[in-house]
Structure 1
Amino acid sequence: MPALTPPVCDFDWKAREFTLPGTDGKTYGLQDIAGENGTLVMFICNHCPFVLAVLDKIVRDASDLKDHGIGVAAICSNDSEAYPADNFHNMARMAEEHAFPFPYLHDEDQTVARAYDAICTPDFFGFNKDLELQYRGRLDATRMNMAATDLRRDLLEAMKEVAATGRGPQEQLSSIGCSIKWKA
């Protein structure tokens, strides 16, 4: 299956509310994860090679974003019946193994992914403190099977700008990844 690329940032699009179970046993809504200077909602999954190629960087950048007042959550919306690696049990295992510094949420009925018009994994939605979209770009220039560690941290730099100014960069490079695995 070819890689998908999400659309360019639709500036000021308002974040959609949700209530989802987390792998830590708690339930989270948008307000629970919102940070004082912004919020990052990312759609990831357990099996996608694009996600796996950057997972350590996602964990690193999420930790760094907290220092800038950015709240972070990850959502898995894949059809876990067709893709058992993405079931809730395996999500919890991945979150624990990688010490996720953010809630990992299960969108079993895929309503949140549809509300956000999420396209692929990973798909990053960076909002300002007013929950207006300011970044929908890539983490960095990493591609599958590429181990470079000295790449510009596009997501981190964009969200630092959002935290400081309330606005994201006008020039953004789209993320790339596997399609969300929709239920029939």
Structure 2
Amino acid sequence: MITLRPYEDYAAWAVFRALDVHDHMEAEAVRGASATSLALFADWRVAQAHGLLSVVAHAGPAQRPFAVVTMGHTGQKGVAEAAMLACDHARHACALARLAIIMRRGLPRYATDSGITRIEARSWAAHPTAARLLTAIGFTHECDMPGFGRAGEAMFRQFAWNAPAPTAHPTPIAAAHATQPGESPCA
């Protein structure tokens, strides 16, 4: 069973102490410098004050923390950015798959309730599981972005989740001026 609980320092620290090696490498590529687990935890903790959402995912009978998830504003109306770091992806593969399903099912409602129409996430291109996880959550790959890392050597992949477009209902004026099949719009 997976439970999502509000961010809490000790639970989050448990994740950072056992962070997946590729998640750690990805975080270092974002920083452009090497970092200890404690430094990465400190960065993550600071971001909590500005987040829309910040949770720690727990799994198993003992409900041990295995992932941290946060979402924050980008500065554009209706657009958020999301990040997730987890313990060893191989060891927690089933829990991560279940978390992806929970997130995929919950994103539309959360986005609607929060006024979000787009959520962006980036992953280090060399990460062996991040792209698959983002895709499983419902994100779509948009582009590859070079120039990250200490000397610009790291490539990141941009993903986005977009809310379904609202169904357009024609206004009475537009409906009155709509053309029928075979009818010229200039007649």
Question: Which structure's residues are more often strand, by fraction?
Answer: 2
Q: Return the structure number with greater relative CO, CA threshold 8 A, min gap 6.
A: 1
Structure with greater proportional helix content: 2
Larger Rg over CA atoms = 2
TM over 0.5: no
- Relative to the length of structure 1, the TM-score reads 0.31
